[in-house]
Structure 1
């Protein structure tokens, strides 16, 4: 556990140093006292100790700055707190949180279910027959939404892939410079099609393909691939970088291709 969570004094020291960093160089001990919930005298004592430990440098009356060592200490403690918070969220609360799934058959509250991803959506099947299981928290008929908690195991699925097709900007031919037949074939085999840029939307219309979205195409494709779906993104060449940035941020495998006439 992070040091600042071990005892009240360490937590107060962390908060006061953070307040100094936010307010420096003109530091009002009274304002810090109000923010942290201690007396001004206590703030003065903490600051004196921080100066002695070379985490804070005093530059004059009521003027303080956080030293490099102080910044490093704040960053380290903040990182430890973040890791502990992630542990609580993912490892502790993750086992008791409730998610919604689609029931593949009639399910009763308290019944064990096997979890799977189908079409990018969580499904629950009565019985414990797969690598990922949970417990139904509601009654549900087949096809209805059902609450699930008590997750165990890992859902077995292969991440999807994304193909990004570039369409030239209008000054270089735009949608008319693309092969609608090739684009139609690519879209037919994809689980999801997204577009960004006017030229890209027009190219899809020429291929008789309706995109699922024309906004935040990279983010949508990354989310879909993360749920096991293969996606096609058609993007105007000028803005294709926005799409690939979102895919890299999501650690999604992708390839970029051009659509020749």
Structure 2
């Protein structure tokens, strides 16, 4: 894992996390017991963290205080660790013994069916596909069907994300947004990026919701925009999202981390 590649980086992260709790009487012995390491190891790591200006201390002794640099490091490492964990959990999901899909027709127990993705959902039917599975019980068309013994690869083209930035309320909000541009991006202009259609529409922030209301565009995604957009794109869906001001920076960073193709359009008048 990249953030813990260097020896001791995980220990640094754990010690900084403990110190960040701002317990007034936190001792090296307390940290050692919580982390399951020796007091000497804690002492050596704290010395390094002080030298690197992640924490401050008088004469290398408690109380310890985490610096702004240390806070930034903990946040960055925690986000990276969470992303790594999410990726591992997502990978582990591929090893489930039973998978659900939507039946495109009546299916019988024991039948071998083809699998394909459509509108972000997994479907199972009798048509030949590059991925196959075994049906575990009789189901009717449109029902969720339990599957096992998956084999092959599901054909899936990763979707794209279009980020449209709109003015903040201090910049005039929806009144200074280029509504015609946004409407054209939603209805047809996305084709210039090789996108066939917009599958999901998101609005981040009050101004974005106001713009969507003015254009009578139904909002599919309103919360956890970054995670939802990435998840949708990975399932083959194309997403257009309205974002207020600098909020786009965080979303762009997440998209780049996950290798999702995106385009940014300024919709200020």
TM-score of the aligned structures, taking structure 1 as reference length: 0.65
The answer to whether 1:194 aligns with 2:202 is yes
The answer to whether 1:215 aligns with 2:191 is no
CA apart distance, 1:195: 0.9
Unmatched 5+ stretches in structure 1: 1-16, 37-46, 48-55, 57-62, 69-81
How many residues align? The count is: 197
What residue number does 2:212 align with? 204
Task: Spell out the pairing of 1:1-261 with structure 2 (5 A cutoff).
Answer: 25-26=28-29, 63-65=39-41, 90=91, 94-95=94-95, 97-126=97-126, 129-188=128-187, 189-261=197-269
Inter-partner Cα distance in structure 1 for 2:153 and 2:245:
38
The 8 Å contact of residues 95 and 152 in structure 1, kept in 2 or not, is answered as no
The 8 Å contact of residues 167 and 200 in structure 1, kept in 2 or not, is answered as yes
CA apart distance, 1:89: 9.0
TM-score of the aligned structures, taking structure 2 as reference length: 0.63
Inter-partner Cα distance in structure 1 for 2:259 and 2:109:
37
Q: Which secondary structure does the structure 2 equivalent of 1:242 belong to?
A: helix
Q: Which secondary structure does the structure 2 equivalent of 1:195 belong to?
A: strand
CA apart distance, 1:235: 0.4
Inter-partner Cα distance in structure 1 for 2:142 and 2:255:
32
Q: Which secondary structure does the structure 1 equivalent of 2:237 belong to?
A: coil
Unmatched 5+ stretches in structure 2: 1-10, 19-25, 46-83, 188-196
Inter-partner Cα distance in structure 2 for 1:241 and 1:260:
17
Deviations 1:6-25 (A, max 9, x none): xxxxxxxxxxx9xxx99995
The 8 Å contact of residues 195 and 201 in structure 1, kept in 2 or not, is answered as yes
Larger Rg: 1
Inter-partner Cα distance in structure 2 for 1:101 and 1:236:
37
Question: Are the structure 2 counterparts of residues 249 and 130 from structure 1 closer, same or farther at C-alpha, using a change threshold of 3 Å?
Answer: same
CA apart distance, 1:184: 2.0
